[in-house]
Amino acid sequence: MNATIRQAEERDLPRILALYQQLSLSGDTDAPEDYRRLVPTFRRIGDDPQQRLLVLEVDGAVMGSLVLIIVPNLSHHGMPWAEVENVVVDESLRGGGYGRVLMEHAERLAVEEGCYKLQLMSHWDRRDEAHRFYEKLGYQSSARAFRKYFKGSG
């Protein structure tokens, strides 16, 4: 496996959006060619020390991505916690261990930041594949998630 993980760069944005289209269940992701309108948001993410937008490169091509967010916390003796969002590996590579590599990297970063937990949410419609994947990595479905989408966002 010739894979590396690095911080996303602005030039990666169209490819990240293409990967997000593979991830989207509702078609709510911008097309890669529309990436320019998201450049300010990409830069805000990059400037935020609590967020890491990571990409997985395989043979020099971006083939996966995830966002790791470190959340400062007052409970658990002030230990932060972490959340992973938008975990995606290109369809052509799924099942090849690349998702595991991405998630293990996120876990190492969370531990380095002193986090007491790493959590993620996965849509019910992904229970056949994604949920089994996360369970194999040792994640447990120990809570029920609640969301409220605001007009035009969900």
Across the beta sheet with 61-71, what order do the strands follow?
A: 3-7, 51-58, 61-71, 81-89, 118-120
User: CB–CB of 56/98 below 8 Å?
Assistant: yes
The tens-digit pLDDT sequence of the chain (154 residues) is 689 999 999 999 999 999 999 987 666 777 778 899 999 999 999 999 999 999 999 999 999 999 999 999 999 999 999 999 999 999 999 999 999 999 999 999 999 999 999 998 766 665 667 777 777 777 777 777 777 778 765 5
Region 3-136: CATH code: 3.40.630.30
In this prediction the pTM is: 0.85
Provide the CA 80 distance to its chain's centre, in angstroms: 18
Instruction: Provide the pLDDT for residue 23.
Output: 85
Rg (CA), the chain: 16
Q: Assign 3-state DSSP to the chain and report helix, strand, coil percentages, each to 5.
A: 40, 25, 35
